[in-house]
């Protein structure tokens, strides 16, 4: 089976590097499935999961937005934050979700705080879903 190299990189360093058979994820423009030999592409990513298929197994990575760059032999994901499913601290994500929920229910908040809380909530929900493989 042909493979494509995948690198997931954050400001804290590399999170994942491997050769896989298929990469699928959600770009702002919609779902993307990338096989070896894919045409070059750059796309902004949503907060979501990156699914990596190899040898009949699927590895999940939670990505907090970023940029996807595809070349025929390589996929690079530059993300502000990214965690492989097994590295996700579920308690921390639950606490972050709780905090964001509280902020969203407070009255008389500024728009910027509201948007920030919404994004924090999305990141927490995404981490919980990836850690439970509900993607």
For binding to ligand ATP (CB under 6 A), which residues are involved? 12, 64, 81, 83, 87-89, 92-93, 96, 120, 123, 127
Q: How far apart are CA 29 and CA 51, in angstroms?
A: 17
Q: Residue of minimal CB distance from ligand ATP?
A: 89
- Tokens of residue 62, six digits: 């939670």
CB of 16 to ligand ATP, least distance (A): 12
User: Please, which residue, 11 or 30, has the CB nearer to ligand ATP?
Assistant: 11
CB of 57 to ligand ATP, least distance (A): 22
User: Please, which residue, 34 or 88, has the CB nearer to ligand ATP?
Assistant: 88
Residue entry with tokens 């750059």 = 42
Q: Count CA within 13 A, CB hemisphere, residue 118.
A: 7
Q: How far apart are CA 126 and CA 133, in angstroms?
A: 10
Residue entry with tokens 């993307």 = 32
User: Please, which residue, 87 or 106, has the CB nearer to ligand ATP?
Assistant: 87
């Amino acid at each position: 089976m042909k493979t494509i190299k995948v690198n997931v990189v954050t400001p804290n360093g590399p999170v994942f590097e491997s050769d896989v058979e298929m990469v699928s994820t959600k770009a702002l423009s919609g779902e993307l499935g990338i096989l070896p030999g894919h045409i070059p592409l750059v796309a902004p990513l949503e907060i979501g999961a990156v699914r990596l298929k190899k040898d009949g197994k699927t590895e999940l990575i939670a990505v907090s937005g970023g940029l996807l760059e595809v070349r025929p032999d390589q996929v690079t994901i530059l993300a502000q934050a990214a965690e492989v499913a097994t590295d996700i601290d579920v308690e921390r994500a639950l606490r972050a979700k709780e905090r964001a929920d509280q902020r969203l229910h407070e009255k008389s908040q500024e728009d910027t705080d509201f948007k920030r809380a919404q994004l924090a909530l999305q990141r927490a929900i995404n981490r919980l879903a990836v850690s439970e493989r509900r993607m």
